[in-house]
Amino acid sequence: METRNALALVVSLASLALAAGCDKGPAAAPGAGAGEGAAAAPTAVKLQLNWVAEPEFGGFFAARDLGLYKAEGLEVEVMQGSADIPAPQLVASGKVEFATIAATQLVELNAKGGDLIALFAVYQTNPMGVMVHESSPYASLKDAWESDASFAISEGLADYDWLRKRFPGGARKTVPYTGNNAQFASNPALVSQCFVPSEPTALAVQGVKTRVFLIADEGFNPYNTVVVTTRAYFEKNRDLCARLVKASSFGWRAYINDPKATNLAMARMNPAMSPEMMDKVCEVQRPLIVTEDTKRLGLGGMLFARWDELVNQLAELGKIGAKPDPQSLYFWDSATDSAR
């Protein structure tokens, strides 16, 4: 999985150099000016993912396999997650240095006494959504939510609590969300939550056509697949965190430019998703990752205004009590964020 031939590495790194002119990154190219950290023996750290190896994490695997983390003096173990692995708790307890979680989780955990800080946000547009069959009569998310349809959702997610507040009407029936596409495919009348890049794409390959509605389009747009660490670790290891972010940003650029090699590697770790399926998911998720903001900030960049909005929305939903200072929730080293 770690093996890459020399030509592939040269081509990938060349693509990074070209991309550097398109995106404003958090710092210079990996290895440039890393100082003593890059010259010393690599520092071993763990990045715990909150799900299995899939395209939502592709840039981290690319940064590892292309040697971008090593160029920054880091030996990053990218650890697969699952439904049974509590990524937020693992990083909060210090068992791993870094983990990926949703921005909503970070705010809610910190409101309960945690002290996590976000360093990098993969999804700039909220990837959570709602899907209906193409044959469905519902032409909008409002139509579906305010209907009397059966709706498969996970209780407790802020995304769907937002929809309850946004669209208070209707007589929908809630059924448990199983995460099994067969549940949806076999019932043309079912409406379901979805991770927009994944389930609709898998269903399309099976011949099940869907219409997908982004929750972001209804005003709830938190960052997702966010790399976090504890504030204590960040304060003690600012340079290391900066190098991790730098290499991750360039890893994501490499993956977006050419995901095929990384998708082959991830498919060996996660045989449930073929490389071809991962390629299709990459096409769907690209506009959720590359935005006007990332063209200014660099891939993974974050803005004060977005965290401020999320804090206010979660307070409005009753998900948190006292509002944390949005500035305390994230760090992004960019002069273009004038609100910082």
Q: Which pLDDT tens digit goes with each residue over 48-87?
A: 999 999 999 999 999 999 999 999 999 999 999 998 899 9
Q: For residues 110 and 217, what is the distance between their CA atoms, to the nearest angstrom? A: 26
Q: What is the DSSP string of 82-131?
A: -TT--HHHHHHTTSSSEEEE-HHHHHHHHHTT--EEEEEEEESS--EEEE
Q: For residues 82 and 319, what is the distance between their CA atoms, to the nearest angstrom? A: 25
The proportion of the chain whose per-residue pLDDT surpasses 90, expressed as a percent, equals 83
Whether pLDDT at 319 is above 90: yes
Homologous superfamily of 6-124+222-329 = Periplasmic binding protein-like II (3.40.190.10)
Q: How many CB atoms lie within 10 A of CB 132?
A: 27
Task: Give the pLDDT band (50/70/90) at residue 274.
Answer: very high
Residue with tokens 């990083």: 91
Residues 205-263: tens digit of each pLDDT: 999 999 999 999 999 999 999 999 999 999 999 999 999 999 999 999 999 999 999 99
Residues 175-213: tens digit of each pLDDT: 999 988 999 999 999 999 999 999 999 999 999 999 999
Whether pLDDT at 18 is above 90: no
- Mean pLDDT over 282-293 rounds to 98
Q: Judge: domain 128-218, CATH 3.40.190.10.
A: yes
Q: Where in the chain is the domain with CATH 3.40.190.10?
A: 6-124+222-329, 128-218
| Host H or E run for residue 322 | none
Q: What is the dihedral of CA 157, 214, 224, 93, to 10 degrees?
A: 10
Q: In what order do the strands lie in the sheet with 150-153?
A: 173-176, 150-153, 191-195, 128-133, 210-214
- The residues with which 133 forms a beta bridge, in sequence order, are 210
